[in-house]
Amino acid sequence: MPVKPSNPEEEYFARLEAERRRKAAQERQAQIQEEERQQQRTLHFMKCPKCGMQLEEIAFGDVRVDKCFSCEGMWLDKGELETIQTKEPGFVGRLLKVFRS
């Protein structure tokens, strides 16, 4: 049985429909990824990346250290290590003294 030659107009609209659905699927996927990202952020915000306990933010001058009092880890935000690098000699020692038990 011979195959009916396809109608160029039908092909055009089929391609448009496929493209529309591909775009919609990509948008749904991006939305799901964004929702998952937000859920992860809510779940992990200010939790220690090593032990999972709550981090406490302690200000020391213009540096805010996120400190875990469970595993004793200390965390810095973007740029804070660079800020510390500009401080006077002895700054890090004084910072560490704050957390010494």
Residues of the shown chain interacting with Zn ion in the complex, contacts defined by CB under 5 A = 48, 50-51, 68, 70-71, 73
Q: Which of 42, 49, 45, 53 is nearest to 75 (CA)?
A: 49
**Residue written as token pair 């999972």:** 52
Tokens of residue 82, six digits:
């660079």
Please state the closest distance from residue 44 (CB atom) to Zn ion, in A.
12
Please state the closest distance from residue 83 (CB atom) to Zn ion, in A.
23
The conformation of residue 92, written as its DSSP 8-state character, comes to H
Question: Between 45 and 88, whose beta carbon lies closer to Zn ion?
Answer: 45
Question: Between 73 and 95, whose beta carbon lies closer to Zn ion?
Answer: 73
